[in-house]
Homo-oligomer: A and B are copies of this chain.
Amino acid sequence: MAKPDKNAPSRPVARLPKGLRDIGADELRQTQAMIETIRAVYERYGFEPLETPAFEYTDALGKFLPDQDRPNEGVFSFLDVAPEARDSKDREQWLSLRYDLTAPLARYVAENFQDLPKPFRRYATGSVFRNEKPGPGRFRQFTQFDADTVGAESVAADAEMCMLAADTMEALGFARGQYVIKVNNRKVLDGLREAVSLQGREHDARWLIVMRALDKFDRLGLDGVTALLGAGRKDESGDFTKGAELDTAAIAAVTAIFAATGGIDEKLAQLGERLKASAVGQDGLAELRTIWSLVSAAGYGDGRIAIDPSVVRGLEYYTGPVFEAELLIHAADDKGNPVRFGSVGGGGRYDDLVARFTGQKVPATGFSIGVSRLQAALNLIGRASKPAPGPVVVTVMDKDRIADYQRMVQALREAGIRAELYLGNPKKFGRQLEYADKRGAPVAVIQGTNEREAGEVILKDLIEGARAAQAITDNKEWKATRPAQVSVPEEKLVEAVRDILARHG
């Protein structure tokens, strides 16, 4: 194991770790606006905020990530050494960065069970971390926004999660028809497991292969999934993935979830036929019928929420209803290529997660939004918030008069206007205007000796100026007209700046 090298060259390379990213002003402001919108919906639903730390004891998080074949994959872990600990077993403990917000919630509920209102309804937002191979658009730190109801057995809680998800999508700016909240039930999948005689712990691994295969329907289609359920599948690169080795009848049985046709009631009836012999399957279908009747009664049966037996969800801790928020918009990227968004959030019921700690079953259900994916989608449909204008820049013509320029800045700020003094080297005045441009400043304020003696300031309207520059091709004409530039008495500075800002909305 490599240790940090003490003899490393003294000048480190400035580079981001792989799979991480810096987020600039425009994107961050959008994210903040989104988070406030989501928060407002969750608050209206009566959820309360909770923040748990970025890391937990490794054993408290457990391992429920999808597609992790090796132990220690998926999470970032480190050893916590506490030489001062009295108890020797506390001196070295493994900690892991959280990979979602649900596992820490289960720890919190188990630790504070007696003191919490039941049901306990909380929302949380923050970074989660996945120790995965990074890829395009796939980062190792990203933001989730979750709501969960813990201690509610009733599927009314699941129905509420779906309505919450739909309301959130619309509050963010997606129109009806641009998204759907799809609902399925793990118990239906468990019923299929019985139907193909794979129940029992000894078949866990094989069933997991089946679930992963079914989860790839959107990407691989029925042929790909069928291959993965059978002998296996060779992908475009020639890599072979071993399949679940089901026989033809079993493959037909599990792919029934894609085959059901007609309206939701009809689909449920067809699956009911298939699952006649399975108590758990029937139970799952009954729960789906209840959810459907509740969301329909509330008006969400208009396409906002739909029952879809093909939804799987990757995480292993789900025990009942599962949900997926899917975008239906067809968008194109910068190069005109079609972009498939697919899932931008999801969740489900996880009745065993608190019991991991306490041994006592505590029913729970939740919904989680992938904030960055949703933001990318909002940008593509043009519904993300627009970049904010830069600050008014007060330039420095005379470096001995910094205090005077600073006072102008102060006056603007006190009037609630974003403003700053140019703090770079003031020698080259052109640099100051370049800076103002680069900052997206709407106005530059200038006061040289002549202006000061006349008790005036010059205001350069940089937005209007940029427009005029496009229209004027003749440099002489430019110098003669000096468009978008006005002199005003110094005491009218704030008023005049405000007028220009108002003009540009």
Interface residues of A (CB under 8 A from B): 1-2, 4, 6, 8, 11-18, 20-25, 28-29, 32, 43-46, 48-60, 62, 71-72, 76-80, 82, 84, 90, 92-95, 97, 106-108, 110-112, 117-119, 121-122, 127, 129, 131, 133, 141, 149, 151-154, 156-157, 159-160, 163, 167, 293-294, 297-298, 356-359, 390-391, 393, 402-403, 406-407, 410, 413, 416-421, 423-425, 435, 438-439
Contact = CB atoms under 8 A, between A and B. Distances in A.
A129 B78 CA distance: 14
B294 A403 contact: yes
A435 B118 contact: yes
Given A17-B93, A293-B403, 16 more contacts: A2-B92, A4-B59, A11-B357, A15-B111, A22-B112, A24-B48, A25-B48, A46-B420, A54-B141, A117-B435, A118-B424, A151-B424, A152-B423, A152-B424, A154-B402, A294-B406
Nearest to A31: B51
A386 to B, nearest CB: 15
B15 A406 contact: no
11 contacts: A2-B92, A12-B62, A15-B107, A22-B50, A44-B416, A54-B141, A156-B423, A160-B421, A297-B406, A298-B406, A298-B410
Contacts of A17: 53, 55-57, 80, 93, 95
Given A17-B93, A49-B25, A49-B29, A153 B425 contact: yes
Given A14-B107, A82-B18, A423-B152, A25 B45 contact: no
B14 A156 contact: no
A131 B55 CA distance: 12
Contact of A418 (B32, B46, B77): B46
Nearest to A422: B119
B359 A11 contact: yes
Given A82-B18, A298-B407, A44 B11 contact: no
Main secondary structure of the interface of A (DSSP, over half): mixed
Nearest to A32: B49
A14 B50 contact: no
Contacts of A72: 4
A232 B122 CA distance: 52
B23 A51 contact: yes
Contacts of A48: 24-25
A13 B403 contact: no
Contacts of A423: 119, 121, 149, 152, 154, 156-157, 160
A133 B22 contact: no
Contacts of A93: 2, 17
A72 B417 CA distance: 45
Given A4-B94, A51-B28, A53-B22, A297 B14 contact: no
Given A117-B438, A406-B156, A44 B418 contact: yes
A53 B157 CA distance: 35
Nearest to A41: B413
A132 to B, nearest CB: 10
A117 B422 CA distance: 11
B152 A419 contact: no
Given A117-B438, A298-B403, A418-B44, A49 B76 contact: no
A1 B93 CA distance: 10
Residue from the set A15, A49, A60, A84 with the largest chain B CB neighbour count within 10 Å = A49
B44 A13 contact: no
Contacts of A393: 46
A314 to B, nearest CB: 21
A127 B129 CA distance: 14
Nearest to A8: B59
A156 B92 CA distance: 48
Nearest to A23: B51
B407 A297 contact: yes
